[in-house]
Amino acid sequence: MATMTNISNGGSAQVSTTPRGNALLPPIYNGARNVKEIDKFFWGLEIYFGLVGIKDEAQKMSIASLSLKDIALVW
């Protein structure tokens, strides 16, 4: 968590690079050949897009492609 001190009195500002636990992130798909996992991934993407207000299909595709890891990246 970030901490701040009084800069006007010669203090310094410090920002933590630790990710916040409540950050909204898109789901990740690793290429598992399991219908439930694939459905869960697509459902999670749609929920994510709705929550962050993404309606543009090109932007959705970009985010979806960034949500792939492991063998799914090779596709």
Reported as a single tens digit per residue, the pLDDT across 7-63 is: 455 555 555 555 556 678 999 999 999 999 999 999 999 999 999 999 999 999 999
Query: So what's the pLDDT on residue 28?
Result: 93
Q: Which residue, 34, 35, 2, is CA-closest to 17?
A: 2
- Quick count: other Cβ atoms within 10 Å of Cβ 64? 17
The answer to whether residue 3 is domain-embedded is: no
The answer to whether residue 6 is domain-embedded is: no
The answer to whether residue 65 is domain-embedded is: yes
Reported as a single tens digit per residue, the pLDDT across 17-29 is: 555 566 789 999 9
Secondary structure in 3-state letters for the chain: CCEECCHHHCCCEECCCCCCCCCCCCCCECCCCCHHHHHHHHHHHHHHHHHHCCCCHHHHHHHHHHCECHHHHCC
The answer to whether residue 30 is domain-embedded is: yes
Domain count, the chain: 1
The answer to whether residue 51 is domain-embedded is: yes
The answer to whether residue 13 is domain-embedded is: no
The answer to whether residue 16 is domain-embedded is: no
The answer to whether residue 17 is domain-embedded is: no
Q: How many residues does the chain have?
A: 75
Provide the residue range defining the domain that includes 53.
Answer: 24-75
